[in-house]
Structure 1
Amino acid sequence: MADILAAPQQAVSKQADRDEQFRTLGAISAAHWVSHFHIFALPMLFPFLKQQLNVGYIELGFALTVFAVSSGLTQAPIGYLADHIGARKILLMGLCLGGAALIGLGLHLTYSWLIVSAAVLGLANSVYHPANYAILSAHMNEARMGRAFSVHTFAGFLGGAVAPAVMAGLVATVGVHGALIAAGAIGPLVALFIFGVGIPDANAVDRRTGGGSRQSVVTPALAALTIFFLLLSLSNAGISNFGVVALMSGYGATFSAANLALTAYLGASAAGVLAGGFLADHTDRHGQVAAVCFAVNAAILLVIAVSNLPQLPLIGLMGLAGFLSGVIAPSRDMMVRDAAPPGAAGRAFGIVSTGFNIGGIISPLLFGWIMDRNLPHWVFGGSVVFMVLTVILALATERRPERSRPARA
């Protein structure tokens, strides 16, 4: 009789757990959407900021460098704070801080405020990965953890994908000042949504393996993968941050057409992430997957770099290039996992991710300099060069995993 009475209670408890996980994943994914949307909000306004602030593209690129430096330097301290005062609290603060940075710039649009806002926005951006992954790791079902991370990543890509179209629509309706204020307001609104949903904090994180492996994590393989991440950042940053202005100034594209092309690139990247996760689960040759995708991507971007394509073929090729760049993401992460010493995956990913931060510092200045020299075709040509180097390094660093994969539920 007791078993009969307990069965409905267990079913209710399991349903409650599933509902909480669904709410948590949705709320955290919404925050990741905001993260990527805010990353792309400023670059989408570069053509207008250049005129209103009377500065060059290298000065605008410097703002993105400040963003990257601020975000890179604060990742580790923010992760420490998330573990000690609560990841949920840190996440809510980051959403509000990032929103305040853009709202402040919209209310006081000067170059000095642009630099200050970029620094504050970088600090806010450093919140998302430590806080989001801490909460997801603590409360998602282990059997579905990979899919939860995939949805989280997809949401981030989607935020970047819609940023060009959303910012273009805002500029057309409320102007540059209004666009900045509206983009910033999204942060506090999502923070209010997360607060209302009442997601759990990450205090329940299992720290039983906190000691991890004590062997050195700085291996030649991980050093090479750090360079791989740097090249990956450089190959994508020029298109993401300067693709619109390059297409407008060098290819005769309108602001709307250029934004559509970039939206196709970023939107297809989001779809490619989901396809790439399926592919990564069915092969151990992650370096070859990355190399093939980048080789095809390099060929596509070379066509764009050397020719003035009509609008529809341009958007189609940009979409294909974006899809392939998304497919690479899961294989990229598996390359790091395979190279990480046992029990040291966290530190390994932390090391190689510095390549992204370094790329974020270098790329705005490099591609801003290219645009100031009136060489818009080299925004795409430079990406081709970095992709070719990435192909070579992906093949050179590929290794078969030395340990068997855990069984999948």
Structure 2
Amino acid sequence: MVDVLAAPQHVKTDSSLRTLTAISVAHWVSHFHLFVLPMLFPFLKAQLGVGYIELGFALTVFGLVSGLTQAPIGYLADHIGARKVLLIGLCVGGCALIGLGLHLSYPALIVSAAVLGLANSVYHPADYAILSAHMDVTRMGRAFSIHTFAGFVGGAVAPAIMLALVATVGGLGALIVAGAIGPLVALLMIAMSLPDASAADRRADGVQAPQQNVLTPAIMMLTIFFMLLGLSNAGINNFGVVALMSGYGVDLAAANFALTAFLGASAVGVLAGGFLADHTRRHGQVAAAAFGINAVIMLVIATVNLPSLLLTALMTSAGFLGGVIAPSRDMLVRNSAPPGAAGRAFGIVSTGFNFSGILAPLLFGWIMDQNLPHWVFGASVAFMVLTVLLALVTDRKPQGKSEIPDSRLVHS
């Protein structure tokens, strides 16, 4: 990490490293909190006496609120400061889980999911605003990759942490402890003197980005691409454990281990994908190839009852390939964004993930309620095939545009 942020001035290096560390820890929390409720589905189902579609509805509420509030939160960060917005988001998200742990009921679950969705909308606008303002522009891409990696790690360790918490303090205690991490990290941000970033900070060089139309066909196509990516992963992330337990005869510990391996390999794949993305401009073909192999792996899992060891090995391979896609996915967005409009472009295409967050819980919850656990993986295969086709189409879209974005990437 020190090499990533190497700078001529020692003080500047220390400041950049501290800022990146603080923002990466916050991103770790955001992804960890994403998995708290899904990892507790078996506990919540038993305690609340509801079906998986009711539990899935809570995740739909989360996705809906997060999708509707992400853009307004971005404007808020520009006006009152990204640091303040980030600190508030950490505390609000933590309190949502603590409150649910103190008063568990289905209405409280829905309220908690809504508040968590609001908190989740904070991280990307605030994180990227602060990083953009305080990282060396020549190393911005590598700083972003570390930020992304930290988020993947947060999701990767969530199943193991939640399993350990349930075993030691019970389901309600697990909610409270998981929630307390948010305010504690907010205090850590303050102790680390996390710098702020406002619109004025990011225009300190006097350069005003031109206002351009970013609702281009390429950007809209990428929004659908992001939605399909989200749908293909959501069933595995949120319902993989319960699907493996009910349809494959896998116990809770083995199912959680397989999902942890899947998510952990995704984190490693992000770093590997960064090197791959730097050595090719055919990012759509990279994404298509990785997801094509993933579709074959998931088809095997969907149709064959495998021994736990082989199942975990295939889940690990699929997770790694899914992580490899992330940098190429982001390169596609950058290459399609008009000059000076990368932020708005990423904001628009990221709503594809929000759409998938709304649709996926209901779809996969319905699949589980129909006692079709193998179709959690089967539906993922279908979405992966669609993603492969769209990636190949999208890769051809930018061919006629200016090469400015690519040259900009070479120096980042």
TM-score for both structures, normalised by structure 2: 0.94
Q: 1:180-221 CA deviation, whole Å, 9 max, x = no partner?
A: 00000100111111111111111421264444243x322222
1:354 aligns with 2:357: no
Give, in whole Å, the separation in 1 of the partners of 2:77 and 2:208.
Answer: 15
- 2:361 aligned partner, one-letter code: P
What are the ranges of 5 or more consecutive residues in structure 2 without an aligned counterpart? 1-6
- 2:210 aligned partner, one-letter code: G
What SS class does the counterpart of residue 35 from structure 2 fall into? helix
- Find the counterpart in structure 2 of residue 129 from structure 1: 124
Q: Is the 8 A contact 2:231 2:360 kept in 1?
A: yes
- Find the counterpart in structure 2 of residue 296 from structure 1: 293
1:147 Cα deviation after fit: 1.0
- Find the counterpart in structure 2 of residue 405 from structure 1: 407
Give, in whole Å, the separation in 2 of the partners of 1:142 and 1:327.
Answer: 24
- Find the counterpart in structure 1 of residue 82 from structure 2: 87
- Find the counterpart in structure 2 of residue 184 from structure 1: 179
1:354 Cα deviation after fit: 1.5
Listed as ranges, the matches of 1:189-208 within 5 Å are 189-203=184-198, 204-206=201-203, 208=206
1:251 aligns with 2:251: no
Listed as ranges, the matches of 1:8-407 within 5 Å are 14-203=9-198, 204-206=201-203, 208-214=206-212, 216-399=213-396, 400=399, 402-403=402-403, 404-406=406-408, 407=410
What SS class does the counterpart of residue 9 from structure 2 fall into? helix
Give, in whole Å, the separation in 2 of the partners of 1:142 and 1:225.
Answer: 25
1:124 Cα deviation after fit: 0.6
Give, in whole Å, the separation in 2 of the partners of 1:90 and 1:344.
Answer: 22
Give, in whole Å, the separation in 2 of the partners of 1:196 and 1:139.
Answer: 18
Give, in whole Å, the separation in 1 of the partners of 2:307 and 2:47.
Answer: 30
What SS class does the counterpart of residue 154 from structure 1 fall into? helix
Alignment length (residue pairs): 397
What SS class does the counterpart of residue 398 from structure 1 fall into? helix
Q: Is the 8 A contact 1:213 1:341 kept in 2?
A: no
Q: Which 10-residue stretch deviates more, 171-180 or 221-230?
A: 221-230
> What stretches of structure 1 move > 6 A for 4+ residues in a row?
none
Give, in whole Å, the separation in 1 of the partners of 2:343 and 2:25.
Answer: 24
- 2:230 aligned partner, one-letter code: S
Pick closer, same or farther for the CA change 1:202–1:386 going to 2, 3 Å. same
Q: Is the 8 A contact 2:230 2:357 kept in 1?
A: yes
1:106 Cα deviation after fit: 0.4
Q: Is the 8 A contact 2:145 2:274 kept in 1?
A: yes
- Find the counterpart in structure 1 of residue 3 from structure 2: none
Q: Is the 8 A contact 1:20 1:199 kept in 2?
A: no
- 2:157 aligned partner, one-letter code: V
Q: Which 10-residue stretch deviates more, 194-203 or 156-165?
A: 194-203
Give, in whole Å, the separation in 2 of the partners of 1:402 and 1:242.
Answer: 43
Give, in whole Å, the separation in 1 of the partners of 2:292 and 2:394.
Answer: 16
1:307 Cα deviation after fit: 1.0
Q: 1:53-90 CA deviation, whole Å, 9 max, x = no partner?
A: 00000000000000001111111111111111111111
Give, in whole Å, the separation in 1 of the partners of 2:316 and 2:144.
Answer: 23
What are the ranges of 5 or more consecutive residues in structure 1 without an aligned counterpart? 1-11
- 2:281 aligned partner, one-letter code: D
Give, in whole Å, the separation in 1 of the partners of 2:116 and 2:216.
Answer: 33
Q: 1:168-188 CA deviation, whole Å, 9 max, x = no partner?
A: 000011100000000001001
Computing the radius of gyration from Cα coordinates, the structure with the larger value is: 1
Q: 1:321-368 CA deviation, whole Å, 9 max, x = no partner?
A: 000000001101111111222222222222211111111100000000
- Find the counterpart in structure 1 of residue 4 from structure 2: none
Identity %: 72
What SS class does the counterpart of residue 126 from structure 1 fall into? helix
What SS class does the counterpart of residue 232 from structure 1 fall into? helix
Q: Is the 8 A contact 2:209 2:341 kept in 1?
A: no
- 2:72 aligned partner, one-letter code: P
- 1:396 aligned partner, one-letter code: V
What SS class does the counterpart of residue 196 from structure 2 fall into? coil
Give, in whole Å, the separation in 1 of the partners of 2:346 and 2:15.
Answer: 28
Give, in whole Å, the separation in 1 of the partners of 2:361 and 2:262.
Answer: 19
Give, in whole Å, the separation in 2 of the partners of 1:54 and 1:209.
Answer: 57
Q: Is the 8 A contact 1:213 1:342 kept in 2?
A: no
Give, in whole Å, the separation in 1 of the partners of 2:143 and 2:226.
Answer: 23
Give, in whole Å, the separation in 2 of the partners of 1:276 and 1:42.
Answer: 29
Q: Is the 8 A contact 2:160 2:260 kept in 1?
A: yes
Give, in whole Å, the separation in 2 of the partners of 1:310 and 1:115.
Answer: 37
